[in-house]
A = this chain, B = another copy of it.
Amino acid sequence: MHPFDEALALSCVSNGPWIGKPHANYTNMVGPFGGLTSALLLKAALDDERRVNDPVALTVNFCGGLSQNEFRIETRLQRGGKYTQHWSAELHQDDEVKATASIVFGKRGDVFSHQTVTPPTVPPPDACDAIPKGMPLRWIDSYSFRFADALPQFTGKAFDELQSSRSVLWVADDPPRPLDWLSLAALGDNFFLRLLHLRGSLPPMGTVSLTTYFHATADEIAAQGDYPLLGVADAKRFHANFADQHMELWSRDGTLLASGVQVAWYKA
């Protein structure tokens, strides 16, 4: 069994609450990295027998770091319609709300289709430098990150001059795993906070809220298999303790599979 699937194992009697436990392979500074938490919240709604259609939008609010203890996810079908279904979810642990989420599922059909954007042109994954294994944060080892530009430095030393906050890289589960909604949700939070790329230094920081839109239809996800996704991430403004970040995840053939934004807190 792939570690990601182990990490997503949730038990329940019937349609929740869903019980799980943080998986050691996805540990970040405090608790699991946000992408896993996002995937867990999505999975609880996805596995509910009342759920119909495909994920369209996922917003996760990170209220507090998770401990290594068991957690409970409660989902609520807020509204179902002909075309969309709206869910809310909460992750509880240690008698506190650790994360909340809203999830939209939608009926996808064969109608007008148009993509206004194109991915950057970069060398194939094998020709890009990978972040070496053995990182102190376990979740980083659970993915392969192959940067088209320079590799990020994790020394914590500030650059002499601010650098670009933009990254272009190939990302994939490591070991490889065929793409599905859950891994796509996790990959949406799979970019290092832009402050690291911009400043080099590592002040206390963390994602506060994350929104991911799933543009891909099921056929496009199946076509991707376990080939790395091309990721692009950047930020617009760092100001007064909060910074935004936006990302795109592209298929191997230049289809935009997902896009998203997040806002992160930073201390100094």
Interfacial residues, chain A to chain B (CB-CB below 8 A): 56-57, 59, 61, 63-64, 78-79, 81, 83-84, 86, 88, 90, 96-97, 100, 102, 104, 106-117, 162, 165, 198-199, 208-209, 211, 213, 215, 217, 234-242, 244, 246, 248, 256, 259-261, 263, 265-268
Residue in chain B with minimal CB distance to A265: B83
Taken together as a complex, chains A and B put the C-alpha atoms of A64 and B238 apart, in Å, by 35
Contact of A241 with B106 at beta-carbon distance under 8 Å, contacts A86-B61, A209-B59 already known: yes
The 6 closest A-B CB pairs, nearest first, are A63-B79, A108-B240, A57-B209, A59-B59, A211-B211, A215-B237
Q: Is B237's CB under 8 angstroms from A104's CB?
A: no
Taken together as a complex, chains A and B put the C-alpha atoms of A237 and B83 apart, in Å, by 19
Besides A215-B237, A217-B239, A237-B256, 13 new A-B residue pairs in contact (Cβ under 8 A), listed by A number: A56-B208, A59-B59, A61-B78, A63-B78, A78-B90, A100-B102, A102-B102, A108-B240, A111-B240, A111-B266, A117-B236, A215-B242, A215-B244
